[in-house]
Amino acid sequence: MSRPFTAPWRPSFPRGGLGLALALGLTGCGPEAVPAEASLGEVHAAVTFEPESGVLFGAFAGKRGTEDHAAALDALERQAGRKMDVHRIYSVWDEPQPGKFVLADLERGRIPLLSITAKRQDGSGVAWSRIASGAEDAQLKAHALALKGTGKPLFLIFNHEPDMAGTAHGTPAEYAAAFRRLVTVFRQQGVTNVSYSMTLVPYSFQSGAADAFYPGSSYVDWVGADAYNWNGCNPTAGATWRSLEEAVAPVLTWSNAKGKPVMLPEWGSVEDPGVPGRKGQWFRDALEMFKRHPEIKVASYFHTTGTCPWWVDSSTSSVAGFQALGSHDYTHATAAAWLKPSVTTGTAPLTVTFDLSGSTGFQSTTGTGNDAWRLDFGDGTAKVTGRGRPTALQTHRYTAKGTYRVSLTVTDWTGVQNTDTQVLTVK
């Protein structure tokens, strides 16, 4: 049984910081200011950035060939026929923030789903007890101020799947204390644009292990679970085919009791060699499951090879099922501008054709639901504007060498705006 959701209220935020939360159509309770000397017990709940309805749809895209993760996500979006609302990003403890992929997402109008794990770039681990003690506060403050400086909403997962780390970083209680320390330090720095998730594997919610890791409701905004249909591909996991609903059932029961919204930072399925087309239907069934469980508000697909091959394009029927899932109005939980240039680099004079047709409004099927749009070519020439669905193709000629920031801004039928910015290089 799903936990009942009441319509979240729309807080009034100052310009800058959380203005974008409202521009994205996201809602939640804002935190009170926390003084620098605040103790752990004085911390207040943060903003959740829950969509009013539907699912914020996203992905992690594994690299192929020479592409980086940004190019890999672009490729997946073209394959899926839609722009992603959310992008999963993995980072280590001492990696400077915001990283280039976080910055790229903010430029493109996506919401970063950032994981920071307790491991340094040199491969050494950071003990959770060390974080909890305050010994890592300098690093936490640096991250807090850097992410605060973006002025835009993002989701943050501290050390995803700590239940799979064994004793490498410490005990469950030390994890919970480290989580509380991170959240406290962030709030002491006045961070109000970050929403925090505890993310475990589904079995921990079933076995009772999740309770020991839980930092407490004042610190956790989201309960996350990485859910997979293994179908025997991992000898230590499930040997039979299972629906996404079966995979996430334990976390739904647990999170409903806590009164927390749910995100799936990773989820995926393998193919069934004996039943062609079964994975494509698995995606279609996932849509109906999302609608039955409105507490699931974020779903980020794991498009890569991990323990098993989770690629969306494992078959034509899988791609078709993923497209059907991603095109549905329920998986468009915010406005999305989608700017697709025919080229991003070339020699002057350079003629570029921009496809705007995939831009989508809240709770609208892909390519529909917008009331107005504006395209800025970035070279000082007149902007092009229109009403309704953005004109599919706009062509522009760049005569001078330079770097141009081209931006498409859409306003959907609810008045929510989203901007997608692409950089063109003319040589």
- Residues 28-61: b if buried by 16+ CB within 10 A, e if exposed: bebeeebeeeeeeeebebbbbbbbbbbbbbbbbb
Selection from 341, 360, 359 nearest residue 398 by Cα: 341
- 161 catalytic? Reply is yes
Q: Whose CA is closest to 362, among 338, 335, 336, 388?
A: 335
Alpha carbon distance 381, 164 (integer Å): 54
Cis status of the peptide bond prior to 96, with omega within 30 of 0:
no
Q: Which two tokens stand for residue 123?
A: 């491969």
Residue 182 identity (one-letter amino acid): L
Our answer to whether residue 266 is catalytic in this structure is: yes
- Angle at alpha carbon of residue 64, lines to 147 and 225, rounded to 5°: 50
Rounded Cα distance between 377 and 352, Å, is 10
Q: What does the CA dihedral 317, 318, 324, 325 come to, rounded to 10 degrees?
A: 160
Given the residues 50, 77, 136, 266, select the one marked as catalytic.
266
From the candidates 50, 77, 136, 161, which is the catalytic residue? 161
CB atoms inside a 10 Å sphere around CB 243: 16
DSSP assignments along 40-74, one per residue: GGG-------EESSS-EEEEEE---TT--HHHHHH
Instruction: Give the CA count within 13 Å in the CB-facing half-sphere of 176.
Output: 13
Kindly report the backbone phi and psi dihedral angles of residue 37, in degrees, each rounded to the nearest multiple of 5, phi listed first.
-95, 10
Rounded CA separation 275/157 (Å):
36
Active-site amino acid positions:
161, 266
